[in-house]
């Protein structure tokens, strides 16, 4: 499932599994993030790269979704929030009750190393994360000089 530069998208109850890349991808071209996206009650299993990759997005809600058994090529996380360049957005992103399990790289990764001091401020909330049989359950790569707010809670 590839969402690229889209607006006002709702996906419910979809399984996106056993792909050669990502189960779900949310991004956009430079300066045009995907906006107002809701993915609810979905599952990504046995994908080769990630369960969910997000590279440029605003106002996204990932609710009650499962990302499991990602394996094959790095980084192999259940969820990877990773802008590709300084002009990408990661604004008002909420993962509510995500479940990650047995992902080869780990559960959730927030990797912001491609952003710089001119990048739009980052706001990410991960609430009530459930993680099983993976290390690390949650990881970040955040340069000190950028404007970032990340909140995380685990069940």
Q: What is the pLDDT of residue 22?
A: 98
pTM to 2 decimal places: 0.97
Q: What is the pLDDT of residue 46?
A: 98
Q: What is the pLDDT of residue 91?
A: 98
Q: What is the pLDDT of residues 61-72, one digit of tens each?
A: 999 999 999 999
Q: What is the pLDDT of residue 114?
A: 96
* Secondary structure in 3-state letters for the chain: CEEECCEEEEEECCECCCCCCEEEEEECCCCCCEEEEEEECCEEECCCCEEEEECCEEEEEEECCEEECCCCCCCCEEEEECCCCCCCCEEEEEEECCEEECCCCEEEEEECCCCCCCCCCEEEEEEEEEEECCCCCEEEECCCCCCEEEEEEEC
Q: What is the pLDDT of residue 155?
A: 86
pLDDT < 70: residue spans in the chain: none
């Amino acid at each position: 499932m590839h969402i690229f530069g889209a607006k006002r998208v709702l996906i419910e109850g979809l399984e996106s599994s056993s792909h050669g890349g990502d189960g779900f991808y949310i991004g956009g071209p430079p300066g045009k993030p995907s906006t107002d996206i809701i993915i609810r009650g979905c599952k990504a299993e046995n994908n080769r790269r990630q369960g969910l990759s997000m590279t440029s997005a605003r106002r996204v809600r990932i609710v009650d979704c499962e990302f499991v058994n990602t394996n094959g090529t790095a980084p192999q996380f259940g969820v990877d929030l990773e802008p590709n360049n300084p002009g990408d957005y990661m604004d008002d992103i909420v993962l509510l009750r995500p479940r990650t399990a047995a992902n080869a790289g780990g559960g959730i990764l927030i990797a912001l190393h491609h952003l710089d001091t001119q990048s739009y401020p980052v706001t990410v909330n991960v609430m009530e994360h459930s993680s099983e049989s993976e290390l690390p359950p949650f990881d970040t790569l955040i340069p000190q000089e950028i404007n970032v707010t990340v909140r995380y809670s685990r069940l």
